[in-house]
Amino acid sequence: MLRTLLIMISRWRWARRVVSQWGIAKRMALRFVAGETLEEAIEVVRGINATGMSATLDFLGEDTSTEEEARNAAGTIREVVHQIEHSGVKSNISLKLTQLGLKFDEELCRENLISILQRAKDADMFVRIDMEDSPFLEATFSIFSEMRDNHGFENVGLVIQSYFYRSKEDTQRLLEKNTRIRLVKGAYKEPVEIAFPHKREVDEAFDEIGEVMIISSTGTNGWAASEDGKWPPITAIATHDEKRVAYAKDAAERAGLSKDRLEFQMLYGIRRNLQEELCREGYPVRVYVPFGEEWFPYYMRRLAERPANLWFFLSNLVKR
């Protein structure tokens, strides 16, 4: 109920406008967001790299509603690629298609994405398309395939959310083309007609899909994570849930998958101890580092995932 409400609020433009101005809210969001500028984010990535982990930089933004906003977002993302290349940090990038105009002009979104993929290809860098909520699922799959099949971009991968009933089949289809996949549980509120309503089922599906990905990355089909942090292996297990992590590690051992072919990904500000532990064990670990002024929807989803975060936020507001 609370989760549903917070996810709903994350979409309210007026709430975004009002809350983004509160200094106290901004300071609290900094637990999960690397700052409002690219320079701040690059510094955070340097720190992450110093501990042996790589990053994926995400210029925050979604649901843009004008051509100007979408083109500006694409321009900033190309600049992120440029700064990664020139600063030498170990990172690639993640982006959302609604940030590039998907919601109101698919053609504009394609055009923006092509410009980013081309820029990243020139820098020999991988680009992850984040998966948003179900109204954008089909369009995201279809634009992704177009980029691979019609435009020949190999440097692009997708996200699978284990809460959808269809995800196992989607995964099989993507793996047939050796797609690099990040597996997550799913951060949005989805109807029971299309998504598992209970956490236990989402977790079981996560383990099952993760194992399929792991098996498919063995032998000649898989790749190791690249040393420069720009390319992930096929299988990226993105969770802070220790049981899911343990399952993936066991599945990899059963399948004979070497550690460098199994990446763990986590969000900036969450379970740092687990990130460092996996890194010490010899797995590639990538931290998702969001930055920018549009932190409100991202922050609300993080509050929705864990009620304790919301109480912390509210008690700080009251203490003010």
Count Cβ atoms below 10 Å from residue 298 Cβ, excluding itself: 21
Q: Does 58 bind ligand FDA (CB under 6 A)?
A: no
Q: Which two tokens stand for residue 270?
A: 């969450």
Whether 262 contacts 252, CB under 8 Å: yes
130 belongs to the catalytic site: yes
Torsion-angle region of 89 (φ positive above 0: left; ψ -120 to 50: alpha; else: beta): beta
What does the alpha-carbon distance between residue 226 and residue 50 come to, in Å, rounded to a whole number?
A: 17
Q: Which of residues 15-54 bind ligand FDA (CB under 6 A)?
A: none
CB of 213 to ligand FDA, least distance (A): 15
* Residue span binding ligand FDA (CB under 6 A) among the ranges 36-44, 117-125, 211-219, 238-246: 238-246
Q: Which of residues 64-93 bind ligand FDA (CB under 6 A)?
A: none
Count Cβ atoms below 10 Å from residue 49 Cβ, excluding itself: 17
C-alpha separations of 163 from 166, 198, 207, 243, 320 in Å: 9, 9, 12, 17, 38
Q: Does 99 bind ligand FDA (CB under 6 A)?
A: no
**Given 78, 182, 244, 286, the catalytic residue:** 182
Count Cβ atoms below 10 Å from residue 220 Cβ, excluding itself: 5
Position among 120, 267, 278, 279 found at the interface with ligand FDA (CB under 6 A): 267
CB of 238 to ligand FDA, least distance (A): 4
CB of 133 to ligand FDA, least distance (A): 7
| Nearer CB in complex with ligand FDA: 57/131 | 131
182 belongs to the catalytic site: yes
* Residue span binding ligand FDA (CB under 6 A) among the ranges 45-53, 166-174, 236-244, 253-261: 236-244
C-alpha separations of 262 from 217, 235, 244 in Å: 9, 6, 13
Q: Does 252 bind ligand FDA (CB under 6 A)?
A: no
CB of 149 to ligand FDA, least distance (A): 22
What does the per-residue mask of binding to ligand FDA show for 269-298, with x meaning CB under 6 A?
Answer: -xx----------------x----------
What does the alpha-carbon distance between residue 135 and residue 113 come to, in Å, rounded to a whole number?
A: 19
CB of 95 to ligand FDA, least distance (A): 10
* Residue span binding ligand FDA (CB under 6 A) among the ranges 97-105, 190-198, 255-263, 299-307: 299-307
CB of 108 to ligand FDA, least distance (A): 21
**Given 130, 170, 203, 207, the catalytic residue:** 130
What does the per-residue mask of binding to ligand FDA show for 159-198, with x meaning CB under 6 A?
Answer: x-x--------------------x-xxxxx----------
Residue found under tokens 């959310």 = 161
Instruction: Catalog residues that contact ligand FDA under the rule CB under 6 A.
Output: 130-131, 159, 161, 182, 184-188, 238-241, 265-267, 270-271, 288, 302, 305-306, 309
Task: Supply the residues annotated as catalytic.
Answer: 130, 182
